[in-house]
Structure 1
Amino acid sequence: MKIHAIETGKVKITKNWRIGRGNGLKRFKNTLFDSEFTEWLPIYVWVIEHPEGLIVIDTGIPVDANKRIWFPPFMPLVQRAAKFKMTPEQEVGSQLRQLGLSPNDVRWVVLTHLHQDHDGGLHHFPNAEFVVSFKEWEMAAGIKGRMNGYLNQRWPDWFKPRFVDFDSQKPFGPFTGHHTLTQAGDIHLVPTPGHSPGHLSVILVEDDLMSILFAGDASYTEELLIEQKADGIGADPDVQQETHRKILKYAEQHHTVYLPSHDPGAKERLENRIPINKDLELEAQAV
């Protein structure tokens, strides 16, 4: 089956956002007030032409992603720390049509989490079934969600996703639960909390040996996964690092192509089916 990497604009974040520094409130302040920024990073959406229907993983950002937000009061600081670069032609709907695919034909949209660079293109998929973890929805919906920094005021009125409650599901390898999306049993959703409390990842099992793991923001790059470095925006670095260990444990058992949403090397790894670099992992363990 074909898998497409669609780059929906770019994002630049503070260096303390990409790799967190400090603990608790100090970590959050270091993230927002850092004066040093990363290079421009891709914002990938993944599209799987599956026999059971088109599957889109995340939706990228809208063209007005930099529009000023004043509530809650800390949001201008968040916007200063995460800047977007985008044109209308880069929105996910337009790029799907350039591939000869119609957004109206998408069967499932799986959201790894509900931050705006992942849910900003919801409006392109009025006919799709959206899937999100129940825990992420609890964090993101309503006034509580707004106070947590989720931009739920931008969601379409008709946005009513199907929830996956991993707490009631059986384990999948090292992951504490899972949900099988397809009748073929080749696409699984697994909990990967840390960057956000209800973050999930998608695993496509291509065959007995090879898996493709669409990681959202479980880590920003493959290197940071291997080094088990948590970002500065997640509420609990220990939880994120435990997720990293589970992903690496899965990769010990299956050749795994690891595809975070903001990793400049992800598209090449997908095209060439390059699994997680075990040599880098061994080097990180030796340090």
Structure 2
Amino acid sequence: MKIVFANSAWVSAAERLILHGGSWQSVRLRVRYGLIIHPRAGPVLIDTGYTPQATRGTDRGTALRLYGAILKPQLNAAEQPLPVLARFGLTPQDVRTVIVTHFHADHISGLSQFANARFIASDAAWSRLKARTAWQNLRHGVFAELFPTDFETRLDGLSSKARIAPRGAIPGGADLFGDGSVVAVDLPGHADGQFGLLFAGMERPLLYAVDVQWLLAALVQRRTPGFPASLLAEDFTAIEPTSEVLRRFLADGGEVMFCHDPEPKSYDLDGESV
């Protein structure tokens, strides 16, 4: 099984907004998404990153346009999903599964590009999303226009997956493909229904922890940012317990990756030969 992560865009933020006690100096953050070449499931995407649908799409509502104007994501054309798939000899039609770790714009904006794909996501979080008003969903950072109109009919909910029990510092979760190769690990705090992905079969077990923190330094140095970053969290009180799970995993020899950490990792496409 091959795993690579691409950088869909760059977003800049003051360091102190993403690292407690940091400076006002701007930090250029990645917006990762992943590609798994799975022996049985074939090419599988992990989210989609930022795509033009979020930054220039004609169907964007006022709130999404304002969101883009504030964050100003700079799309990385070479590592958008379609050119990255082409590097591996793949097309969007070849992708039959997209894992959606949570429903924020920088993770779902390209879902409409994959008409043949099923979506693995938290069906519990999807039910809560449907029960909210449009304004409540905006408060949770969810922009309805980014979902394909048939999202629900193509949803494979986590609740339908068999569970794998934790083993010491190795967390348990939902077995996405029935072979233990990719396990969805609940990571509450940042977003409703957020889960990470555990690849326990790698030479060094890998946990892609998505947006639990923005920087690895914030995790290992216990420097979770407070106000005003706390306003962006679904449940700020859950971030520290979730972070402690990641620290135990690191201490046991595992590797943790985040979506936005700017430091290059061995799985990043810009350091990878195809």
Q: What TM-score, normalized by structure 2, do the two folds share?
A: 0.79
Corresponding residue for 1:145?
137
Q: Which has the higher contact order (CA 8 A, sep 6+)?
A: 2
Residue 54, structure 1, aligned to residue 49, structure 2: no
Which segments of 5 or more consecutive residues in structure 1 lack a partner in the other structure? 22-35, 272-287
Question: Which deviations, in whole Å up to 9, do the C-alpha atoms of 1:184-236 show, x marking residues without a partner?
Answer: 222100100111131100001125x6211111111112211212333512133
- Aligned residue runs from structure 1 range 51-90, under 5 A: 51-52=39-40, 53-66=42-55, 69-71=61-63, 76=66, 78-79=67-68, 81-86=70-75, 90=79
1:224 to 207, 213, 218: 218
Q: Does 1:200 align with 2:195?
A: yes
- Residue 270 to residue 115, structure 1, CA distance change in 2 (3 Å): same
The amino acid that maps onto 1:200 is F
Pairwise CA RMSD of aligned residues?
3.0
- What is the CA-CA distance between 1:94 and the residue it aligns to? 2.7
Q: State the partner residue of 2:265.
A: 267
1:178 lines up with 2:173 in the alignment: yes
Q: Deviations over 1:262-282 (max 9, x none)?
A: 1122433668xxxxxxxxxxx
3-state DSSP of counterpart to 2:9: strand
Displacement of 1:171 in angstroms is 4.2
CA distance in 2, matches of 1:8, 1:123: 16
2:244 alignment counterpart: 245
5+ residue gaps, structure 2, are 270-274
> What is the TM-score with the length of structure 1 in the denominator?
0.75
Give secondary structure in 2 for the equivalent of 1:219.
coil
For 1:92 and 1:177, locate their aligned partners in 2 and report how far apart those are by CA, in whole Å: 29
Q: Distance in 2 between matches of 1:10 and 1:140?
A: 28
2:14 & 2:48 partners in 1: Cα distance? 23
Percentage of matched positions with identical amino acids = 23
Residues 218, 266 of structure 1: alpha-carbon distance in 2 compared, 3 angstrom cutoff:
farther
Task: Report the CA distance between 1:136 and its aligned residue.
Answer: 3.0
Q: Which amino acid aligns with 2:47?
A: D
Runs of 4+ in 1 over 6 A off after TM superposition: none
Distance across 2 between alignment mates of 1:81 and 1:20: 22
Q: Distance in 2 between matches of 1:270 and 1:98?
A: 14
C-alpha displacement of 1:14:
4.5
**In 2, distance between residues paired with 1:4 and 1:177?**
22
In the aligned structure 2, how far is the partner of 1:149 from the partner of 1:114? 8
C-alpha displacement of 1:169 = 5.0
* Distance (Å, rounded) in 2 between the aligned partners of 1:138 and 1:228: 33
Aligned with 1:40 (options 28, 32, 35): 28
Are 1:191 and 2:186 matched, yes or no? yes
